[in-house]
């Protein structure tokens, strides 16, 4: 199990990094964060298909075609953890070398979004802008950045793992 789970975790991480980098080639200049969010989650989902593929391969090739939900979940979870770790490392490097002005651009974008939202009063807008500035200040801390980056992909991976485990689990019958 260990070699196979590591392999699929590394493949998932590589797919996410490569597709993310390709998407960013077309996106980074305009900094449309709404499009970037969609492309980022598309990249994650594409990479996380390796949870399903890896678990199915493990079930079919090493377990004789049957796997319990728990064993499938454990296998998929390890893939997700490896892919998430690679995602965090990739973002930290990308942020440092290719997008060092991310915080400033994201803050400007966020303030524009807040100011154009007519559902907020002027006081509520000011409160949200103050909170956003505070959040962006905390994002300068590498540990905070790593934690938030991990939380971008890991919950999605958990959902993919739950679905894959449910779909692929078979009891001997």
pLDDT digits (tens, 9 = 90+) for 55-64: 999 999 999 9
- pLDDT(172) > 90: no
Average pLDDT on 29-58 reads: 86
C-alpha 109/C-alpha 95 separation (Å) is: 17
Q: Are 157 and 86 in contact (CB under 8 A)?
A: no
pTM: 0.86
**Minimal CA–CA distance to 98: which of 2, 31, 5, 9?**
31
pLDDT the model gives residue 99? 78
37: β partners: none
pLDDT the model gives residue 154? 97
Q: Are 146 and 62 in contact (CB under 8 A)?
A: no
């Amino acid at each position: 199990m260990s070699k196979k789970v590591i392999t699929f975790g590394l493949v998932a991480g590589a797919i996410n990094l490569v597709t993310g980098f390709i998407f960013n080639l077309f996106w980074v200049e305009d900094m449309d964060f709404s499009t970037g969010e969609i492309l980022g989650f598309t990249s994650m989902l594409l990479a996380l298909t390796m949870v399903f593929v890896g678990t199915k391969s493990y079930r079919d090739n090493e377990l004789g075609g049957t796997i319990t939900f728990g064993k499938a979940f454990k296998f998929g979870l390890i893939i997700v953890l490896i892919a998430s770790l690679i995602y965090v490392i990739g973002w930290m490097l990308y942020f440092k070398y290719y997008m060092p002005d991310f915080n400033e651009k994201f803050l400007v974008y966020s303030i524009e979004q807040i100011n154009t939202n007519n559902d907020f009063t002027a006081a509520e807008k000011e409160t949200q802008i103050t909170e956003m500035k505070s959040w962006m200040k905390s994002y300068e801390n590498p540990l905070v950045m790593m934690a938030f980056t991990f939380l971008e992909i890991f919950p999605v991976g958990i959902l993919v793992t739950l679905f894959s485990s449910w779909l692929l689990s078979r009891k001997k019958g």
